[in-house]
Structure 1
Amino acid sequence: RIMSILQEERKNCTFNRLEITNLLDGSAKATENRRELERFILSFPELQDKIPIDYLSHEDRYAEELRKACLLIRKGFEAPGNDGQANTMRYLMGAGVGSAVLKEGNPLAVHFVMFVPTIMNQGTPEQQMEWLSKAWNCEIVGTYAQTELGHGTFLRGLETTATYDPTTEDFVLNTPTVTAYKWWPGGLGKTANHAVVMAQLWTKGKCHGPHPFLVQLRDTDTHEPLSGIDVGEIGPKMGLNTNDNGYLGFKSHRIPRTAMLMKYSQVLPDGTYVKPAHSKLSYGTMVFVRVVIVSDACQQLMKAATIAVRYSCVRKQSELIPGEPEPQIIEYQAQQAKIFPPVAACFALKFAAFYIIDLYQETTQRGEEIDLDLLPELHALSCGLKALSTTDIGQFVEVLRQSCGGHGYMSNSNFPRIYSQVQAAYTYEGENTVLWLQVARHLIKSYKNGGNYTSSYLSEKEIIRSQKLSGNIYDPYFLETVFRRTAFGLVRRAAAELDRLTAQGMNPHIAWNKASVLLIDAAKGHSRYFVVHNFNEKVASIKISQATRDVICHLRDLYLVHGILAYKGDFIMFGGLSDLDIVGLQSRQSYLFEQIRPNAVSIVDAFDIRDEILNSTLGVANGDVYNRLMEEAKNSPLNLTQVHSSFQNYLKPFMNAHL
């Protein structure tokens, strides 16, 4: 009976699920390739856990996941299809099928996501010839060592030094203080034998700032650390514990001059420094990783939403009407308010991820030249979307976990793992507060000098008019205008505060700090406006059936309405909305819940996440939640015996002690 509940829900579907699946994958061909890869990878029993990973020790977890990681990549190279090895590896490293195999993180992920791309993007043709094929084929295994114990997102504060010695044509790497130790790089602890190391470049007595160096850390045969290198693992974390995040220190460790990645800046044999054409060109790897994070975080939210929606249909609780049978908890509007906005956000943020991926490719793949005009836009947008997606998704995942009650707290629900991995993304590759301020700097400059691309609205001075806009609050394009006005108002307020403080004679840097809360609000408002604008653009351009379009439009409308209601104060202050408008939007939200409800299960089904990838007792596609929970409980090692040895050793003597 329980298993039939989701079958009945699916009968209510009013749209073509495959259309949404293809849309979220990018194309029908992309869906076909993804499914083919999933079928292939999940067909190998040796890639599955022999013992549930939750019951392994820290050391055994790492060993088991490294075993599977090596096999996963080997199988990835053998995978059928014509999607290209690069796309295959990217998918295996993310929250898709790779997470079905490696649930606590992939110790080789940083090798493919950061180490290899850095060689590609920042190495000269000669350096790529020397290292790229070895890295791609895993003859060498690398990581990306930038963050230090005492410094993270603030690159200029890095303390590791690389001092050029022209007499030997070597760089001498040193870690001058404990805070200068590299800290956090994934795969550094026990896996990697090479690293791209960001270090302060010194030559001819002058520091030229952080630059990338390709450094061998361990002997490729014995895996012993080389002379002058102190390397190890940093220990347990909230999650991702098989990523073997590590620490790294140098003591007068020498590397050849050619170990500096010199595509954009060089050090000549005599020590002369040749600076890059653009100061931000060397930040390409970080931008790329932020692009990946946005897409990966969306996949995590899709998992969490699928689990919560399915469980909300299976779970029955309390009485909606006294004396009548217990309803599915999805029938409660309070439950719909928890689970439907995250479902809508999956689409909004996924479409935003597509946009930034396209922009990244446009910026970096025009032959050998990088579009310098697009670099500031790409940097600001990648910062904003990384911060927005990981912040919102982290909050949504926790709400979705709470929506599943006590069972959502179980490890086998997969919520704890999803949550810990999303929360990690809030901080790594740019802590979100710092990223918001990077966006704000771009916005203030655009406000004063005229914006372009996604900040072009900052040049539209007519939107600063104080009178209320006229329009229909049910019209998504009118609501987009409200988001734009609000974003403009938040930027204008932050700029005015900066002007006020500096007019009083305050140092501009101190003024920036004093205005930082308002600047962050401006960055958030801008980023949310972009996502809304992009959502509307996507809905207008996609070619799908009317029935499927109706479903997506309801989700789009909910994303806009929920976004306004969540920050209603800003939209009243700057967006021109009245109290009555807010009341109307609250009614509109209730209406949208009713429209989405019949299709809820089919919408998350269209995310097309296999049970092996979802890895959740609560989210199984057949709805057999309670039997799955009981099976998992029976599998606990504590249940192998009725009387545990600790009873005789500890509990019985304690009970007999007559305290």
Structure 2
Amino acid sequence: MAAKMNPDLKKERDGASFDPEKIVNFLYGGPDRVRRRREVVSLALDDPDFQHEDLNFMSREQQYETQLKKSILVVQKQKELGLVSPEDMGNYNYNGVFKSMSGPFGLHTSMFLPTLRGQATAEQKAKWLKMAENYAIIGTYAQTEMGHGTFLRGLETTSTYDPQTQEFVLNTPTPTGTKWWPGCLGKTSNYCVLMAQLYIHGKSYGPHPFMVQIRNLQDHKPLPGVTVGDIGPKFGYAGNDNGFLRFDNVRIPRDNMLMKYSRVMNYTIQVAGQPEPQVLDYVTQQYKLFPYLAAAYAFMLAARSMIFVYFRSMEKIGRGDITVLPELHALSSGLKSLSSWVMNAGIEECRMACGGHGYSHASGIPSIYMEHTPAATYEGENTVLMLQTARYLMKSYNQSLQGEKLAGSVAYLSGVQPVPAAGRTRNVLDLNVLIQAFQHRAARLVHEAALQLKKERQTGKDQPDAWNAAAVDLVKAAKAHSQYFVVKNFADRLTDPALDSAARAVLTRLCQLYALHDIVNSSGDFLEDGYLTGADIRQARRHINALMAKLRPDAVALVDAFDFPDGILNSILGRYDGNVYQHLLEWAKASPLNKTDVHESYYKYLKPFLEANRAKL
């Protein structure tokens, strides 16, 4: 039975201005190819032979063994299924899968002890601080929740005062209220300082700190009503058992509220927590993510164009015409470098935009980072590739100086556009204006790199030394050339008759955002010779904000149009149904550290350590 769709996510999809399937077909070459792509991908995703324990939970040896087995199966099954075309084999393999700095006492020393020293009364210090300082008890600081990080007022864990018994009753009312990320919580700590919303007679008085025992001091098992465990593997800090914590009617004495600055009897004013906004409604969040969404579309369309250029070039080479090779190599080298540089920056921006959850392997981002950031060096180191592009540009530019007519991607190098008259007004939303701006920058930087190279030669350097001396200018010129190609190609692809008006409109906004964002980030290049003015750059910034507001209702649907099934994306945060939090907890519970309540290391190391320290008190 299909999972119930998250209502917020359903609303986002229902509010889209276009049919995502139209763009799916546009991106992947039409409905027939999309149908075939999904069919072939499903063959792998639904194959029981490829179902296995999450790779993140395996040792290196187990991962190797599993991947070796899968590799053999892929070869066998492709033959059995008759998958012979590169596209089919690529789609089938897409589901194929072909590192601690801090120890478990980290938060005990960095947060637990300082909090006791700073917020406990003298009586409370006498009760707990000496034990904590002497490691007779181990504690952590439990504030962050699964759904609440920096939004402290939004914490959902409750501590309700019972005046009849003079106790506080602790509860975790929702999945999002689960304490999440505290270091040394998962398996090590037996105490924590808990930040919870204080309720007295039905009124909320905001978050307050409470001293809470969570594990039995004799056998280390969780106390009744306490659910605690490890949150699973992360990008790093493998030696730290970051954990989760839930409470079900757990009672603690009134004196367990840390009371140096506040006591229950003094509270008379209610503090109401305001609703938490959706993360994507923050403009700063949009500014982090939307330009990379636009870039993803820009590079995907550039890749499709390059595939066309490649096959057309292979036809000519097959007829003995090898004149197409230099441009093909130069263009592919530049685009590979540019796209992988942007990708690397985008992965990290997305990880940070997810807050702490982006650091967990459950997000899928650490795997993407580790598997794809090497693209800046494999299959050709990016700077070296850019210099190969620059070599072709220098050759083409010199040919233009000799009167030769240039064609293809370098046709624009026949001349540098004149600097516009001061005060000229431009509509920087006009795609032709944007294309001309990128073309002018590329032509000028190629021209200046050529002049610098000539100057270095005139000082007496030989060609390799002169080339090295001018390399920074050469790489910059090659990057500008590649960016010009991407912008022009994006704009050109918008004329495709397969696009309906709604899809064309939203893709046009993405194209404008991609170009304007690069202009603003590289404004010096455009201002340097006066081609664009300060007013133009200010106008571009205003347009970026306006474009993000227009793209906001379509953001989820635009991501949907990449058509990545959950089985491929392998991300709890990126689930199509949007039901993140319950699945995040389920995922964490599957960690090997959570197979038993008490890890064997407790009996080997922690139990004798704690008992010896208690005996000294």
**TM-score, normalization by structure 2:** 0.67
2:232 aligns with none
Amino acid at match of 1:70: I
Task: Provide the C-alpha distance between the structure 2 equivalents of 1:388 and 1:78, rounded to a whole number of angstroms.
Answer: 39
Instruction: Report the alpha carbon displacement of residue 363 of structure 1 after superposing the two structures with TM.
Output: 1.4
Aligned match for 1:419, one of 345, 369, 374: 369
Q: Does the Cα contact within 8 Å between 1:443 and 1:491 map onto a contact in 2?
A: yes
Q: Closer, same or farther in 2 for the Cα pair 1:396/1:574, shift >3 Å?
A: farther
The alignment partner of 1:541 has SS state of coil
Q: Alpha-carbon deviations, 1:535-574, whole Å to 9, x = none? A: 1111123432111111111111111111111211111114
The alignment partner of 1:564 has SS state of helix
Aligned match for 2:488, one of 507, 519, 533: 533
Instruction: Report the alpha carbon displacement of residue 388 of structure 1 after superposing the two structures with TM.
Output: 0.8
Task: Provide the C-alpha distance between the structure 1 equivalents of 2:612 and 2:319, rounded to a whole number of angstroms.
Answer: 79
Instruction: Report the alpha carbon displacement of residue 577 of structure 1 after superposing the two structures with TM.
Output: 0.9
Instruction: Report the alpha carbon displacement of residue 510 of structure 1 after superposing the two structures with TM.
Output: 1.0
Q: Alpha-carbon deviations, 1:314-351, whole Å to 9, x = none? A: xxxxxxxx975211010010000111111111211011
1:41 aligns with 44
Task: Provide the C-alpha distance between the structure 2 equivalents of 1:12 and 1:575, rounded to a whole number of angstroms.
Answer: 42
Q: Closer, same or farther in 2 for the Cα pair 1:58/1:644, shift >3 Å?
A: same
Q: Closer, same or farther in 2 for the Cα pair 1:421/1:467, shift >3 Å?
A: farther
Q: Closer, same or farther in 2 for the Cα pair 1:458/1:621, shift >3 Å?
A: same
Amino acid at match of 1:53: L
Instruction: Report the alpha carbon displacement of residue 589 of structure 1 after superposing the two structures with TM.
Output: 0.3
1:604 aligns with 559
Task: Provide the C-alpha distance between the structure 1 equivalents of 2:474 and 2:588, rounded to a whole number of angstroms.
Answer: 49
The alignment partner of 2:515 has SS state of helix
Aligned match for 1:628, one of 566, 576, 583: 583
Alignment of 1:451-462 (within 5 A): 451-461=406-416
Instruction: Report the alpha carbon displacement of residue 31 of structure 1 after superposing the two structures with TM.
Output: 0.5
Instruction: Report the alpha carbon displacement of residue 90 of structure 1 after superposing the two structures with TM.
Output: 2.4
Q: Closer, same or farther in 2 for the Cα pair 1:53/1:63, shift >3 Å?
A: same
Give 1 or 2 for the bigger CA radius of gyration.
Answer: 2
Q: Closer, same or farther in 2 for the Cα pair 1:638/1:564, shift >3 Å?
A: same
Instruction: Report the alpha carbon displacement of residue 575 of structure 1 after superposing the two structures with TM.
Output: 6.7
Q: Alpha-carbon deviations, 1:330-383, whole Å to 9, x = none? A: 001000011111111121101110111111111113483353111000010110
1:65 aligns with 67
Q: Does the Cα contact within 8 Å between 1:41 and 1:75 map onto a contact in 2?
A: no
Q: Does the Cα contact within 8 Å between 1:76 and 1:88 map onto a contact in 2?
A: no
Amino acid at match of 1:448: N
Task: Provide the C-alpha distance between the structure 1 equivalents of 2:329 and 2:359, rounded to a whole number of angstroms.
Answer: 37
1:480 aligns with 435
Alignment of 1:208-247 (within 5 A): none
Task: Provide the C-alpha distance between the structure 1 equivalents of 2:320 and 2:546, rounded to a whole number of angstroms.
Answer: 47
2:337 aligns with 387
Q: Alpha-carbon deviations, 1:289-316, whole Å to 9, x = none? A: xxxxxxxxxxxxxxxxxxxxxxxxxxxx
The alignment partner of 1:553 has SS state of helix
Indicate whether 1:410 and 2:365 are aligned: no
Q: Does the Cα contact within 8 Å between 1:47 and 1:72 map onto a contact in 2?
A: no
Task: Provide the C-alpha distance between the structure 2 equivalents of 1:380 and 1:592, rounded to a whole number of angstroms.
Answer: 33
Q: Does the Cα contact within 8 Å between 2:419 and 2:531 map onto a contact in 1?
A: no
Alignment of 1:89-128 (within 5 A): 89-93=89-93, 98-99=94-95, 102-103=96-97, 105=98
Q: Does the Cα contact within 8 Å between 1:554 and 1:592 map onto a contact in 2?
A: yes
Q: Does the Cα contact within 8 Å between 1:40 and 1:79 map onto a contact in 2?
A: no
2:88 aligns with 88
Q: Closer, same or farther in 2 for the Cα pair 1:483/1:8, shift >3 Å?
A: same
The alignment partner of 2:411 has SS state of helix
Task: Provide the C-alpha distance between the structure 2 equivalents of 1:573 and 1:75, rounded to a whole number of angstroms.
Answer: 58
Alignment of 1:458-537 (within 5 A): 458-461=413-416, 463-465=417-419, 467=421, 471-537=426-492
The alignment partner of 1:540 has SS state of coil
Q: Does the Cα contact within 8 Å between 2:351 and 2:365 map onto a contact in 1?
A: yes
Structure 1 window deviating more from structure 2 (463-472 vs 378-387): it is 463-472
1:206 aligns with none
Task: Provide the C-alpha distance between the structure 2 equivalents of 1:525 and 1:362, rounded to a whole number of angstroms.
Answer: 25
Aligned match for 2:513, one of 548, 555, 558: 558
Aligned match for 2:539, one of 573, 584, 593: 584
Task: Provide the C-alpha distance between the structure 2 equivalents of 1:367 and 1:564, rounded to a whole number of angstroms.
Answer: 38
Q: Closer, same or farther in 2 for the Cα pair 1:550/1:650, shift >3 Å?
A: same
Task: Provide the C-alpha distance between the structure 2 equivalents of 1:465 and 1:578, rounded to a whole number of angstroms.
Answer: 11
Amino acid at match of 1:343: L
Task: Provide the C-alpha distance between the structure 2 equivalents of 1:370 and 1:638, rounded to a whole number of angstroms.
Answer: 62
Alignment of 1:355-374 (within 5 A): 355-366=305-316, 368-374=318-324
Task: Provide the C-alpha distance between the structure 2 equivalents of 1:574 and 1:29, rounded to a whole number of angstroms.
Answer: 49
Structure 1 window deviating more from structure 2 (343-352 vs 360-369): it is 360-369
1:338 aligns with 288
Aligned match for 2:351, one of 374, 386, 401: 401
Aligned match for 2:302, one of 352, 374, 391: 352
Instruction: Report the alpha carbon displacement of residue 79 of structure 1 after superposing the two structures with TM.
Output: 3.6
Structure 1 window deviating more from structure 2 (399-408 vs 39-48): it is 39-48
Q: Does the Cα contact within 8 Å between 2:426 and 2:536 map onto a contact in 1?
A: no
1:259 aligns with none
Q: Alpha-carbon deviations, 1:94-144, whole Å to 9, x = none? A: xxxx23xx33x2xxxxxxxxxxxxxxxxxxxxxxxxxxxxxxxxxxxxxxx
Gapped regions of structure 2 (runs ≥ 5): 99-234, 237-271, 401-405
Q: Closer, same or farther in 2 for the Cα pair 1:380/1:467, shift >3 Å?
A: farther
Q: Does the Cα contact within 8 Å between 1:37 and 1:79 map onto a contact in 2?
A: no
The alignment partner of 2:56 has SS state of helix
Q: Does the Cα contact within 8 Å between 1:17 and 1:605 map onto a contact in 2?
A: yes
Q: Alpha-carbon deviations, 1:599-624, whole Å to 9, x = none? A: 11111111111111110000101111
Q: Does the Cα contact within 8 Å between 1:482 and 1:575 map onto a contact in 2?
A: no
2:241 aligns with none
Q: Does the Cα contact within 8 Å between 1:464 and 1:488 map onto a contact in 2?
A: no
1:26 aligns with 29
The alignment partner of 2:318 has SS state of coil
Alignment of 1:440-459 (within 5 A): 440-450=390-400, 451-459=406-414
Q: Closer, same or farther in 2 for the Cα pair 1:570/1:535, shift >3 Å?
A: same
2:111 aligns with none
Alignment of 1:170-185 (within 5 A): none
Aligned match for 1:439, one of 389, 411, 414: 389
Q: Closer, same or farther in 2 for the Cα pair 1:575/1:56, shift >3 Å?
A: farther
Indicate whether 1:13 and 2:11 are aligned: no
Instruction: Report the alpha carbon displacement of residue 386 of structure 1 after superposing the two structures with TM.
Output: 0.6
Task: Provide the C-alpha distance between the structure 1 equivalents of 2:564 and 2:611, rounded to a whole number of angstroms.
Answer: 53
Q: Alpha-carbon deviations, 1:25-58, whole Å to 9, x = none? A: 1222211110111222222122112x21112222
Amino acid at match of 2:448: R
Amino acid at match of 1:12: G
Q: Alpha-carbon deviations, 1:137-173, whole Å to 9, x = none? A: xxxxxxxxxxxxxxxxxxxxxxxxxxxxxxxxxxxxx
Task: Provide the C-alpha distance between the structure 2 equivalents of 1:647 and 1:370, rounded to a whole number of angstroms.
Answer: 72
Percent identity among equivalent residues?
A: 39
Amino acid at match of 1:557: Q
Instruction: Report the alpha carbon displacement of residue 398 of structure 1 after superposing the two structures with TM.
Output: 1.1
The alignment partner of 1:365 has SS state of helix
Amino acid at match of 1:504: T
Instruction: Report the alpha carbon displacement of residue 84 of structure 1 after superposing the two structures with TM.
Output: 4.9
Alignment of 1:286-297 (within 5 A): none
Task: Provide the C-alpha distance between the structure 2 equivalents of 1:479 and 1:366, rounded to a whole number of angstroms.
Answer: 33
1:573 aligns with 528
Q: Does the Cα contact within 8 Å between 1:491 and 1:519 map onto a contact in 2?
A: yes
Instruction: Report the alpha carbon displacement of residue 2 of structure 1 after superposing the two structures with TM.
Output: 8.4
Amino acid at match of 1:76: Q
Gapped regions of structure 1 (runs ≥ 5): 106-237, 240-321
Task: Provide the C-alpha distance between the structure 2 equivalents of 1:460 and 1:323, rounded to a whole number of angstroms.
Answer: 62
RMSD: 2.1
